[in-house]
Structure 1
Amino acid sequence: MESDGEKKKVTIKSSSFRLRSPSLNALRLQRIFDLFDKNGDGFITVEELSQALSRLGLNADLSDLKSTVESYIQPGNTGLNFDDFSSLHKTLDDSFFGGAEENDETSSPESAAADESDLAEAFKVFDENGDGFISARELQTVLKKLGLPEGGEMARVEKMIVSVDRNQDGRVDFFEFKNMMRTVVIPSS
C-alpha cells in the first residue's frame, strides 16, 4: 500500500525532464518531428501541428499557431522542415527555459522544482483517471493518441510497464515514472 509518506523528497542531481545530451535531444526531436509529420512528406504543416496538439489534449488557437509557425517556414515550402522545426524548438526552449540545457552544473532548487512540476504534468497526461498510477490500458490510450504502433499491441504495452515497474504491482507510480524518465537520459546497459 502506498501512502503520501511514500512521496518523500528525493534529491537527484540530474532529475531533468528535458534531455541534456545534444545527440539524444536530436533523436528525440526527430521522433517528435516524424510523429507530427503525419503524411511523411518531410514537412509539418500548421494543420498537422494543430492535429497533433489536439490529440495530446492541447487545443491551440489555429490563427495563433499559424502566425507563430509561419515565420519559421522557408519561402516556397508548405510547412516546417526538420531544420525549421529545430529552430522553432530552440527559440521556444530559450524563451520558456532560458536555454537552461547549457548550464547543467547550476542545478538550483528552483530548476529542480520546475523539473518536478514538468514531470508531474507529464504523469497526469498518462494517468487519465487520476488515481496516481499509470495502468497498461492508460499507457496504451496515450500511445494510440500519439499514433504510435506500440499502442496497437497490449503485449508490447505490458512489456513497457514491466520494464519500469519496480514493485511489480502491474502499474507505474510517480516514483517509477521519474526513474523511467531518467533512464531515457542515461540508458541502462
Structure 2
Amino acid sequence: MEGGGGSPCRTRALHRPSPSFRLRSPSLNIVRLRRVFDLFDHNGDGEITVDELALALDRLGLGVDPDELASTVAAYIPPGRAGLAFDDFEALHRSLGDTLFGAAAPGDERAAAVAEEEEQDMREAFRVFDEDGDGFISAAELQVVLAKLGLPEARNIARVHEMICSIDQDCDGRVDFREFKHMMQGISISSA
C-alpha cells in the first residue's frame, strides 16, 4: 500500500516503541526530555529546527524523510518562529507518546499502579546516584554522576556541595530518597 498517505509506513516504523520513550514519572520525563532537547538544539539558540531534528535523528540512525518530518513538526512550531521551543518539543513528544501508548485517563483504575510505577522509577533514578547503595547521595557520588553525564559542574566540588545543600532539607550533608523525590517533584511542578 505505497503512496497511500505514508501512515502505514510510519505505523510500521513505530510498531515497537522503546519502553523508555515515556517514563512513568513526569518529573523524570521532564529532566530527560530537557537533556534530549539540549542535545538536539545544535546551535544552542533555544529552538530545534526541522534541520536540527533531522540531523539528530540521522545521527541516531533513525533517518527520516525530511518532508514527512517537516509536515509532522510544523503543527507544533508557532507562527513566526523557526523551530520548536522546549514547550513545543514537549507537546510533540507527549502527542507521540499518546499516539504510541494511549493517553492516561485521569482517575482510571490504573492510577494506583501508575503511582507505584512512578515511585519505582524514582527509586531507580536514585540508585543511579547512590553508587555505594547506602541510601544517601553524597557530594562525591553526585560529582561522579555529573562527570559521567559530561556536565561542567562536575569539575568543581564546591559547586557540587552547593547542589547538595540546595536539596538537603535536614542539613546532614547528603541527600536521602525523600529529599531526592521532593526535588524531582519540584522539577515537574516548576516546568509545568
TM bucket normalised to smaller: 0.5 to 0.7
| Corresponding residue SS for 2:70 | coil
Given that 1:33 and 1:82 are in contact with CA atoms closer than 8 Å, whether structure 2 keeps it comes out as no
Distance in 1 of aligned mates of 2:67 and 2:137? 38
Q: Post-superposition, which runs of at least 4 consecutive aligned residues in structure 1 deviate over 6 A? A: 68-72
Q: 1:117 to 1:161 in 2, by over 3 A?
A: same
**Residue of structure 2 aligned with 1:113, choices 105, 111, 116:** 116
Task: Please name the residue that 1:73 is paired with.
Answer: 69
Q: What TM-score do the two structures reach when normalised by structure 1?
A: 0.55
In the TM superposition, residue 49 of structure 1 has moved relative to its aligned partner by 6.7
The match for 1:126 is 129
SS, match of residue 34 in structure 1: helix
Q: 1:113 to 1:67 in 2, by over 3 A?
A: farther
* Residue 179 in structure 1 maps to residue 187 in structure 2: no
Q: Does 1:82 align with 2:78?
A: no
CA shift in 2, pair 1:91/1:71, >3 Å:
farther
Identical-pair percentage: 47
Change (3 A) 1:97 1:149: farther
- What residue identity is the alignment partner of 1:40? G
- The gaps in structure 1 that reach 5 residues or longer are 1-15, 20-24, 52-61, 76-80
One-letter code of the match for 2:70?
Q
Between the aligned partners of 1:124 and 1:111, the Cα distance in structure 2 is: 20
> Which residue number corresponds to residue 98 of structure 1?
102
Query: What 5-or-longer segments of structure 2 have no aligned partner?
Result: 1-23, 72-82
Q: CA deviation at 1:119?
A: 0.8
CA RMSD of superposed structures (Å): 4.1
Asked if 2 retains the 8 angstrom alpha-carbon contact of 1:150 and 1:156, the reply is yes
- Determine the structure 1 residue equivalent to 2:4: none
When residues 151 and 93 of structure 1 are mapped into structure 2, their CA distance, relative to the original with a 3 A threshold, is farther
Superposition TM-score, scaled by structure 2 size = 0.55
